[in-house]
Structures are given as C-alpha cells and as structure tokens.
Amino acid sequence: MNPNSKINGPTEVFSPNDDAELSAFLADSYARGIPLRIAGGGTRLDLGALNAQQTLTSRALTGIVTYEPGALTLIARAGTPLEEVEQTLAEEGQALAFEPMDHRGLLGSSGVPTIGGVVAANVSGPRRLQAGACRDHLLGVRFVDGSGRKIKNGGRVMKNVTGLDLSKLMCGSFGTLGVLTEVALKTLPRAERQLTLVFSKVSLQEACTIFASALATPYEVSGAVYHQESAWLRVEGFAQQAAYRADRLKALFRENQIDVIADEESRALWRDFKNVEVFAQSSEPLWRILIKPSEAPALARSLQLLGGDVFIDWGGGLVWYCGSAQSAEVRSAASAGRAVLIRQGARPASDRFPEDAGAISRLSAALRKTFDPAGILNPKLMGD
C-alpha cells in the first residue's frame, strides 16, 4: 500500500491506523460537523464537487485477518489492497466469484483499489450474472458510523440470520453510512478452465435472444456481454466440464458463426470486459444502467440516438453508456431502469444516483440520518 497515493480533490487526508483512531476521529468530526470525503484507495468515486473539507480513508487499515480456504471464507481489513486479496486467494486456487472491476482505467484515478472500496461500492463484474454481486458474497462487516460508534454485523459464516442484515446495507452505500474497517467475504474455487464463445455480426436484439436462451440452460453461463455486433458467452468449470458446456452451447446455437477462445486469452478478454476497457480512452460521461435484460435493446437504441456508444453486460441487465447526452436525457431514456453516473466528464452533475420513489427516498434519507446524524459522510453523494 502507498500512503501517499494521490486522491483527487481536497488534500487533507486522514488515514487512521486502527478502529479506535477512526472512531475518535469520526466522533470528533461529528461533534464539530466537519463534512468528510470517505474513500478506500480513492480509485472508484469520481466525486467531483463533493462538499468536503477532509478526506478520510481506510487505506491504513490493512491485512488479511483470517483466510480459511476449507470454509471458503476470507476476512480482511478494509484497506487491504484488492490485489493482495486476489493474490492470496489465487495461491489456494480460489477467487472472489463476483469479479470486482478496477475503475482506474475508466476514471483515470491512480490509487490502489482496496477490498473495502469494493464492498462500499458493491462492485461486481460480468460473473455477477451467475455468481451474484459483491453483496451476495459479503458475510459480515465492521464499521464505524457517522457519530463514531464501532459496529459489527454479520460474521464469517455463510448462513447467518442473526439480527438485521446491515452488511447488505453497507454494501453499495458508498461510505455514506459509515467507514468500513473489516469485511468478511465468501470465496469460491477458481475455475480450472474457461472458454469463451464469440458470436460475430449479431445485432443487440439477436444477442439478447442468444443470452436469454443460453442463460436458460443448465450450463452455468458466467458471462454474457455485447459490443458493436459481437457477443461473448463464457463458460467455466473443470476441464471436461467447460468443454462439455461449450459444446452444448455451440450445438444450441449451431445456426450462428461461433469462435472459441480459451483460458489465458479468454481471461484477458474478460479482464477487459470487467474493467469496461472500451470506454477507458474516452473522457465523456459514463453511465451504468441497470435494466430488465429484455429491455436492453430498446434502451440501447434510444441512448445511441442521443449520441455515444453502449457496452452491454450481464446478458442485457447492465448497459454501460458512454456519451455526452444530458443527465435528464439519459435518465428519461433509462426510466425503466436505474442509471448511475460513474464518470462525470467535463460537466459535473449533482445527481449521480437515480432518484428514488417517495417512500424509498424517504427511508433512505432517514437511514442515512440514523447512521450519519450530522450528515458528514460523503454529504449529498446519494441524495439528501
């Protein structure tokens, strides 16, 4: 880890070394009402004009606390670099099945992605389709809330329904409810082999039909993406299994021209998909839009009319839109789904997250107030 990592925005950075320091700092900030920018490695949030005087990061809270491959569990301090986690798991032939992306390419950020940041942003890659999101692999958390209370929730076991599930709530709350200090995650075996079926010259409509058929098979398709007339399906497993699955899918889509890419080449391909490399070179606003897969083609058409390009993941369930359209236009086009602005481009927007319907908005605001009564944690990031 690099304590000098550059973080965009305010320069005053505080990186507590333990929970007690963090708790004291937050209790003090709460008492004095000092708005804080909350960050892990600072790679994921394109915060722009966030009204915060100081940055509080968890990046000094590092280290893997426990890793039990036989129990498929890993506990790590929030600031532990993602790379360290992934490396440790790889040595045991395991991985984080939800395939967290690295935002640095897209956002031009230069910090070190941390496991806490992954959890805070509920970052999930293409395999989310089959294996679930980050929140589905989160077993427990420790965090300090906006008034300095040290809280734990969940635990380290896969089945745990003791009390309310705050882990889910923390996951994807982007630091607005508290600062994570420790996370427990479910790990899974890394597949022995992976094969990618490449479909060329298909429309998005055709691709979505292919995705729906493929995802209705028992072959555990673990990736389904589309970009500019090509569609990719990924299957994994032990060697014979991956081959069998690929063969069955090829038979199912025998009308189509299909190429197969294997192992390292395939892994590299999906690394790029995961990180949405296609839009890394651009600096235009980038939107992440969650939608019912069958509605992806219509959404893509209306977005393209606004100018720009789309990249489709999760078999249609996730539409990445890179283009200069106004926020209001994008939100109107994506009204059937949920649009989150990931990269602001030249024109900072205040509404990164979709506006919720009445009760949800009211409940979310009340929950934020409960966790952060002084409104000092990434203020107004997710709404009032």
Q: Within positions 7 to 46, which residues make up the interface with other proteins, using CB under 8 A?
A: none
CA 301 vs CA 158, 304, 310, 338: distances in Å: 41, 5, 9, 17
User: Does 276 help bind other proteins (rule: CB under 8 A)?
Assistant: no
User: Does 241 help bind other proteins (rule: CB under 8 A)?
Assistant: yes
CB 86 within 8 A of CB 42: no
- Interface pick for other proteins out of 9, 10, 132, 375 (rule CB under 8 A): 132
Tokens of 243: 């081959």
User: Does 194 help bind other proteins (rule: CB under 8 A)?
Assistant: no
Instruction: Specify the DSSP class assigned to residue 191.
Output: P
Tokens of 15: 């990186």
User: Does 87 help bind other proteins (rule: CB under 8 A)?
Assistant: no
Site for other proteins in 337-366 (CB under 8 A): 337-340, 353-354, 356-357, 359-360, 363-364, 366
CA–CA–CA angle 154, 158, 163 (5° rounding): 30
- Interface pick for other proteins out of 44, 128, 193, 343 (rule CB under 8 A): 128
Question: Cβ closer to other proteins: 165 or 309?
Answer: 165
Report, in Å, the least distance between residue 312 CB and other proteins.
Answer: 13
User: What interhelical angle do 296-305 and 204-215 show, nearest 10?
Assistant: 160
User: Does 72 help bind other proteins (rule: CB under 8 A)?
Assistant: yes
Tokens of 357: 């319907």
Stretch that binds other proteins, among 30-38, 71-79, 196-204, 254-262 (CB under 8 A): 71-79
Site for other proteins in 102-121 (CB under 8 A): none
Instruction: Specify the DSSP class assigned to residue 315.
Output: G
Question: Cβ closer to other proteins: 10 or 375?
Answer: 375
Alpha-carbon span 197 to 258, nearest angstrom: 6
Question: Cβ closer to other proteins: 237 or 323?
Answer: 237
Report, in Å, the least distance between residue 248 CB and other proteins.
Answer: 8
Tokens of 281: 């070179």
Among 24, 61, 23, smallest CA distance to 39 is for 61
User: Does 317 help bind other proteins (rule: CB under 8 A)?
Assistant: yes
Alpha-carbon span 179 to 366, nearest angstrom: 18
Question: Other CB atoms closer than 10 Å to residue 175's CB: what's the count?
Answer: 28
Site for other proteins in 133-192 (CB under 8 A): 133, 135-136, 145, 149-153, 155-169, 171-173, 177, 188-190, 192
Report, in Å, the least distance between residue 262 CB and other proteins.
Answer: 19
Report, in Å, the least distance between residue 1 CB and other proteins.
Answer: 27
Q: What is the DSSP string of 236-274?
A: EESHHHHHHHHHHHHHHTTTS-EEEEEHHHHHHHHHHHH
Applying CB under 8 A, the site for other proteins has a residue count of 83
- Interface pick for other proteins out of 107, 210, 376, 382 (rule CB under 8 A): 382
User: Does 285 help bind other proteins (rule: CB under 8 A)?
Assistant: no
Alpha-carbon span 158 to 104, nearest angstrom: 31
- Interface pick for other proteins out of 116, 175, 223, 237 (rule CB under 8 A): 237
Question: Cβ closer to other proteins: 57 or 364?
Answer: 364
Report, in Å, the least distance between residue 330 CB and other proteins.
Answer: 13
Question: Cβ closer to other proteins: 113 or 315?
Answer: 315
Report, in Å, the least distance between residue 231 CB and other proteins.
Answer: 16
Tokens of 154: 């969940």
Question: Cβ closer to other proteins: 197 or 215?
Answer: 215
From the centroid of its chain, how far is CA 327? 21
Alpha-carbon span 130 to 133, nearest angstrom: 9
